[in-house]
Structure formats: structure tokens, C-alpha cells
A and B are shown apart, each in its own frame.
Chain A
């Protein structure tokens, strides 16, 4: 138990939360539940409303409509310092005039925790992020990665039920970032009760870390599901392209349903509930597109080749549509202008009904 603001057992619930600045709606009727102990990533481009949603949980923005719950408690009207939340931001925001240990102790003192217990809890939090040896340093004496560890320790020291991470790895370079991802995953395993809301524009972070991903765009929740669901069975075009950069091909469903027509090619894919004659979007991941003849073959001209180490990314022009394919590194690298045939398996394709994505109409 922490003193002061009581530690709430995890879980966050957005109930129709809208936020507007002036007349500008930056978050539009968000309904979302983060289960206790769950890592929920809010993934989207800048201006998608994901950071606003996090700030509504922290209490830095007041929703124009809707309620925010932490655990069972309605916190919509509570000031930030009464919410008992741990928060980590992109630029660390350590207090520069305080030593590492005093930074970590800040929340405990603010919450009037038992004085005798503070040094122990500070040491414990620093140990958790592997910064035990740096307790007496000042923030300016630490590297970016170390500062972010301290910021995480500072947030965890108050033993919050909810941890808010706002682009926590964006200020770090690529190598550090992947190390910190592993670290965050380990932390979550050690603190299974803490609900984590993780705001990021980086799909790798979201796919690696999150139990579920909420995809945001244009102030709205576009899609929500486990990483596998979103990756394999995206429900909207936005999700399909933002997560994993899928091929999106405009098609017309044949009558009776069972195949679709793509630029004059008949492709056998599961049409599901999409009615015959309707226009739709066919979504296929680049790495599931193979080179050579096979089912659902498409022939086109190579318009660009990118070597990516273990794979080649081919851009193939098929009757005026650009199709991306990631193929294993080739011995005879295709060159621009080559005619090639691509294919994909029926069960690797997802058909998205026209207009999918505007979930609120």
C-alpha cells in the first residue's frame, strides 16, 4: 500500500471520452478498456489522439464529454496528484537538481509514505531497473538510456496500479531502444498486476510489448485487438497499412461470391460476408507474397528493388497497381523492368469491405 492517494488495482476504462481544444476535437468518443495487468499500446501517427487519451488518464486534460475510470474509481474530476499513477515521458523529465535516489524518492515523499521505509523502496525500485549503483549520481551525469531507467524507477516506486508510458523510447537510438524493449517486457513480467498504457507511433514497440493494440487515427479508435489479430486479420485499411504496411488492392467481389476481380485478374480468396458485386479492398502482407508461379498469380514489371539484408523488397507494377513483395535474398537479383510473376495463398489474404475504418460512421 502507498500512503496518500491509495494504490488502485489496475485497469483503465474510457467511457465515451472526448477532448476538444477550442472547437478542434482531438479525441472523439473513445471507448476502451485496459484490463488489470494488461499492456495496451495506443498506436497511431502524430495527431491521432493517442497522447491526448493518455493525458486524459493522467488528468492533464479535462474531457469535454465521457468518463475515465481507474480500477472502479471515476477519476474524471480528480486532479492529477490524487490519481496515484506512474508516468514516464519521452524526455525523461528527471528533476535536475536532485540525485537519482531523491528523484525516485520524490513520489514517496509526496504521498507521505512511511519515512523509514523510503530508502528501502528507493533501492528496490532502482534495483528493478538495474540502476542500483547510480543512486548518488545527478541526472546530468547519466546517459539517455540510464536516465530513462531512472524515470521508470521513479514511476514504479510509488507502486502504481497504472503505468502510463508516453513514447518512452523515442528519444533513444535504435540499439538502446531494442534493449529497453526487452527490459520493459521483463519489468512487466515482474509486475504482473500493473496495467500499462503505452503510447507509441512505432509498430515494432507495439507489436513486441503489447497484449493488445488500440490503433488510433484522426482522433478516433480505428481498431483494437491482439498484435496477431491486427497483423493477420486487420479490420480496417488504416490498420492494415499502418501496422505492417500491407498491400491494399482495390477489388470487386464476383457474383456469386467466392472470387474477386482485381484489374481483370480473378483471385480466389475468402470473401466472408462481403456480398457479391460489392467493391472491397484486398489486404496481403508483403512477406506473404511469393515470387514465381502459384495460386493467385499476378504478372507485372519491377519498378523498384530495395535490398534489406535478409530480404529483397520488390515493387511490382501490375496493371497500374503497385504490389509490394518481400522475398528471401535472391541469388540473381531482379533488375528494374524485369517481368515477374507473384503469387499468394488464399488464406493469407483478408478482404476488407469498402469503407471499413470509419468505425463511427
Chain B
């Protein structure tokens, strides 16, 4: 059939330019990174960069720091985001709509902005320490946690919590309020309603928000850099220091590949789980 043949030929023709652009601007550089990671400075192609990087203490500690920071931030975001979204969605207070809208705006903020704001409050020369030294006359304030992993954790939870709230608020607005009313008429108090009615129906949204935040935390660079935490080296920081400071490109690419693998792996896991959950 001529018509069918023509559309069959036309389809790929239309798809070709975008695929080509995608390949040139995105896949090719990615390929270069992967290729570089197998090319030690001494020349040739080998697994030597991987062996070197995996053997180094700095990589192992960065991997551990990255994973526990990301996991901790995600848990923190889920708990805080769930509670805040619950309040905004179900506790009628004036301005709830404005708060919900602000959550949207917050998503557009750059991540280092939050860190900067936290620096103003808790930094070594920040407001909290200023008030302390002013009141007690001490030379130094008590708040130095911002340059520790806890500072990074605080900043990440502050910045990423709205990413959990957004899908949750959408899920809550879909929830049939009659279900909540019937549940309470059947004798369920607020805690039981949250646990047995709201939470199960919010699960897909929690999963979506949580996995998004987890992946973003794994790859977060700006927050870690801006807290000025010397001892906190995450994988993206390691890539930065290897590539820019030490000019060790193969090692930087190895770390980058590991980072990508973790992200893609987690994303696939999330897709598999959410498909099973019927979301």
C-alpha cells in the first residue's frame, strides 16, 4: 500500500533530527565521559582508573557520605513534607492556599539560595551566633554545625521538602473527603485516619516525591559547596575536585560514571516499584 509505505518512511524522517540533536548534545558527551573513565593517563584502555578509584579511601568515604546524606535527607523530606502537606491540605487555616502556591514558587529557587540563607542565620558570623555573642559577651557563638554534614543535611531537607509536598498536595486534593468523614463516623480518630486512610492513598505520591528527592540529593552539588563544609565530600564534590583541582580526568570520569549508575539504578528501581504499586 503506497500510503502506508509513505507514512512508514516519513515517521523516521521526522524523528531523525531530534534524535540526532539529542545524540550530539547529550549522548556523545556522556559517551566521552565513559570512554575517558577507561583511559588511564598512561594511555591505552583499561580498568586501571576504576581499580585506582575504588581502592582510594577518599572515594569510599565520599560514596558513604553521599549515600547516607541522600538517604537521610530523603527520609527527613518525606516526614516533614508529609506533615506539612497534611496540615496545608486538611487543617483549615487562613492562607493555606497561599502557602500551597508558595510551595510551587519555592521549587523554582536555586538550591544554593537556601544554603546562603542558612549561612545568614547559622553561619559563623550569622545572626544566631551574633545574638549569642551579644547576649553572653563570649567571643564565639555555639552554632558551627553548618560546615558539618548536619549542615548539609539541614540545607538539603529545607530545600527538597517542597519537592515531596508538591505531589502529596496533588494527591490530597484528589482524596474524597467523604472517606475521611465516614472513617471518623465509624469511630476512627485523626491519627487512625491519617494512618489507615490518607497514608495508603498518598503512598504513590510519597514514592514519587521520595525517589525524586533521593536522586536529586545524590547529585546535589551547590548545597554542599555553599555550606563550605571542608570534611563533607560527596561524589559530585569528588568529581569537581578531581577534575578541576587535580586535573585527574580519568578518576573524575570514573566517579561520575558511578554517580550516574547509582542514579539510573535508583530510578529504574522506582519505576519497577511504582508499577507494582499500580501508580
Q: In whole Å, how far is B176's beta carbon from the nearest beta carbon of chain A?
A: 6
Residues of A within 8 A of B189 (CB): 79, 81, 110
Q: In whole Å, how far is A1's beta carbon from the nearest beta carbon of chain B?
A: 14
Q: Bound complex: CA of A4 vs CA of B186, how far in Å?
A: 11
Does A197 sit within 8 A of B, measured CB to CB? Answer: no
Does B201 sit within 8 A of A, measured CB to CB? Answer: yes
Residues of B within 8 A of A91 (CB): 176, 178
Decide: B186 and A158 in contact? CB cutoff 8 A. yes
List A37-91 residues whose CB lies under 8 Å from chain B: 58-60, 79-87, 89, 91
Q: Bound complex: CA of A87 vs CA of B180, how far in Å?
A: 12
Q: Bound complex: CA of A154 vs CA of B182, how far in Å?
A: 10
* Nearest B-chain residue to A55, judged by Cβ: B181
* Nearest A-chain residue to B185, judged by Cβ: A87
Q: Bound complex: CA of A53 vs CA of B182, how far in Å?
A: 16
Decide: B179 and A106 in contact? CB cutoff 8 A. no
Residues of A within 8 A of B196 (CB): 95, 106
| A110 with B181, Cβ < 8 A, contacts A96-B201, A97-B200 known | no
| A106 with B188, Cβ < 8 A, contacts A91-B178, A95-B179, A96-B201 known | yes
Decide: A84 and B187 in contact? CB cutoff 8 A. yes
Q: In whole Å, how far is B194's beta carbon from the nearest beta carbon of chain A?
A: 13
Does A11 sit within 8 A of B, measured CB to CB? Answer: no
Does A107 sit within 8 A of B, measured CB to CB? Answer: yes
Does A93 sit within 8 A of B, measured CB to CB? Answer: yes
Decide: B176 and A4 in contact? CB cutoff 8 A. no
Does B183 sit within 8 A of A, measured CB to CB? Answer: yes
Decide: A58 and B185 in contact? CB cutoff 8 A. yes
Q: Which of A60, A94, A97, A110 contacts B188 (CB 8 A)?
A: A110
| A80 with B181, Cβ < 8 A, contacts A110-B186, A154-B186 known | yes
Q: Which of B176, B179, B181, B186 contacts A107 (CB 8 A)?
A: B186
Residues of B within 8 A of A303 (CB): none
Q: Mark B159-202, 1 if CB is under 8 A from A, else 0.
A: 00000000000000000101101111111110010001100110
| A85 with B185, Cβ < 8 A, contacts A96-B201, A97-B201 known | yes
Q: Bound complex: CA of A263 vs CA of B112, how far in Å?
A: 85
Q: In whole Å, how far is B177's beta carbon from the nearest beta carbon of chain A?
A: 9
Does A5 sit within 8 A of B, measured CB to CB? Answer: yes
| A110 with B178, Cβ < 8 A, contacts A97-B200, A97-B201 known | no
The B interface is mostly helix, strand or loop, or mixed, namely helix
Residues of B within 8 A of A89 (CB): 178, 181-182
Q: Bound complex: CA of A85 vs CA of B185, how far in Å?
A: 6
| A81 with B176, Cβ < 8 A, contacts A58-B181, A87-B181, A110-B192 known | no
List A135-183 residues whose CB lies under 8 Å from chain B: 151, 154-155, 158, 164
Decide: A93 and B186 in contact? CB cutoff 8 A. no
Does A111 sit within 8 A of B, measured CB to CB? Answer: yes
List A93-125 residues whose CB lies under 8 Å from chain B: 93-97, 106-107, 110-111
Decide: B188 and A95 in contact? CB cutoff 8 A. no
* Nearest A-chain residue to B178, judged by Cβ: A93
Q: Bound complex: CA of A84 vs CA of B179, how far in Å?
A: 16
| A111 with B187, Cβ < 8 A, contacts A89-B182, A95-B197, A97-B200 known | yes
Q: Bound complex: CA of A95 vs CA of B188, how far in Å?
A: 13
Residues of B within 8 A of A58 (CB): 181, 185
Q: In whole Å, how far is A54's beta carbon from the nearest beta carbon of chain B?
A: 11
Decide: A106 and B201 in contact? CB cutoff 8 A. no
Q: Bound complex: CA of A93 vs CA of B192, how far in Å?
A: 17
Q: Mark B218-261, 1 if CB is under 8 A from A, else 0.
A: 00000000000000000000000000000000000000000000
Residues of B within 8 A of A84 (CB): 187
Q: Bound complex: CA of A4 vs CA of B201, how far in Å?
A: 26
Decide: B185 and A86 in contact? CB cutoff 8 A. yes
Q: In whole Å, how far is B205's beta carbon from the nearest beta carbon of chain A?
A: 13
Residues of B within 8 A of A154 (CB): 182, 186
Q: Bound complex: CA of A5 vs CA of B182, how far in Å?
A: 15
Decide: B182 and A87 in contact? CB cutoff 8 A. yes
Q: Mark A297-320, 1 if CB is under 8 A from B, else 0.
A: 000000000000000000000000
| A110 with B187, Cβ < 8 A, contacts A87-B181, A93-B179 known | yes
Q: In whole Å, how far is B112's beta carbon from the nearest beta carbon of chain A?
A: 40
Residues of A within 8 A of B183 (CB): 95, 106, 110
Q: In whole Å, how far is B138's beta carbon from the nearest beta carbon of chain A?
A: 50
Residues of A within 8 A of B179 (CB): 93-95
Q: Mark A222-258, 1 if CB is under 8 A from B, else 0.
A: 0000000000000000000000000000000000000
Pick from A84, A91, A107 the residue with the most CB of B within 10 Å: A107
Q: Bound complex: CA of A58 vs CA of B181, how far in Å?
A: 9
Decide: B187 and A4 in contact? CB cutoff 8 A. yes
Decide: A158 and B187 in contact? CB cutoff 8 A. yes
Q: In whole Å, how far is A360's beta carbon from the nearest beta carbon of chain B?
A: 30
Q: In whole Å, how far is B191's beta carbon from the nearest beta carbon of chain A?
A: 11
Q: Bound complex: CA of A158 vs CA of B196, how far in Å?
A: 18
- Give 7 pairs: A residue, B residue, CB < 8 Å, sorted on A: A59-B185, A87-B181, A87-B185, A106-B183, A107-B187, A111-B187, A151-B182
Other A-B contacts than A91-B178, A95-B197, 17 sampled, CB-CB below 8 A, are A5-B187, A59-B184, A59-B185, A79-B184, A79-B189, A80-B184, A81-B187, A81-B188, A86-B185, A89-B181, A93-B176, A93-B179, A95-B179, A95-B196, A97-B201, A154-B182, A164-B185
> Which 4 pairs show the lowest CB-CB distances between chains A and B?
A107-B186, A93-B178, A110-B187, A110-B188
